[in-house]
Amino acid sequence: DNAVTYAKLCYRLDKESGDPDRMSSSLNTLAGIYLGARQPREAEQYIAKALSLTDETKNPQRKAVLLGTASEIYHATGNAQRALQYADAAYSLEVRLGRDDRAKVRLSQKAAVLLGLHRYREAQQLLVQVIPYFREQGNQQSLGISCNKMGMALLSQERPAEALSYYKEARSEERRVGEE
């Protein structure tokens, strides 16, 4: 509740400034808070408004972030097709911007949606691309998340021995992140 209160205060100040880039950032924060609180329907209204403002800002980095948030929100609401569209749009924009690290995160987001759609092989194909990258870059959080997804993809294909190794790696990464 406090987070929402303060985020709304920030949005109000940003709205008074008239800066659509700052307003879209505040709205994204609100959407993220509601998503984190497992209230994705509440988050929808904020992400929709934030996305409409990014067209005014001409800030492609902000738009890519918002598209990624929108993908997560629509995945949480069960609207998988819309979640896929937003994940693909975020990925394409990140690639155009040359932000490889963020593009890989978008592929991991897309894999989560594909898992929800029981498209395990497609999810696995994406995760095969991102896991080595996250290992190489030392992105422990994204690596742990992606390893868990890979474990799920493999387990769903009745490949428990392979899944176990990814689950073990994910647990190891989660411990490391927790220690930091």
pLDDT at 28 over 90: yes
Dump the DSSP string for 71-117: HHHHHHHT-HHHHHHHHHHHHHHHHHTT-HHHHHHHHHHHHHHHHHT
Q: Which of 172, 133, 125 is nearest to 149 (CA)?
A: 125
pTM over 0.75: yes
pLDDT-derived band of residue 18, with 50, 70 and 90 as boundaries?
very high
Q: Which of 32, 57, 58 is nearest to 44 (CA)?
A: 32
Q: pLDDT digit string (tens) for 137-146?
A: 999 999 999 9
What average pLDDT does the structure give for the chain?
94
pLDDT-derived band of residue 175, with 50, 70 and 90 as boundaries?
confident
Mean pLDDT value of segment 94-101: 96
pLDDT-derived band of residue 58, with 50, 70 and 90 as boundaries?
confident
Query: Alpha-carbon distance 137 to 131, whole Å?
Result: 10
Q: pLDDT digit string (tens) for 62-96?
A: 999 999 999 999 999 999 999 999 999 999 999 99
Mean pLDDT value of segment 161-179: 84
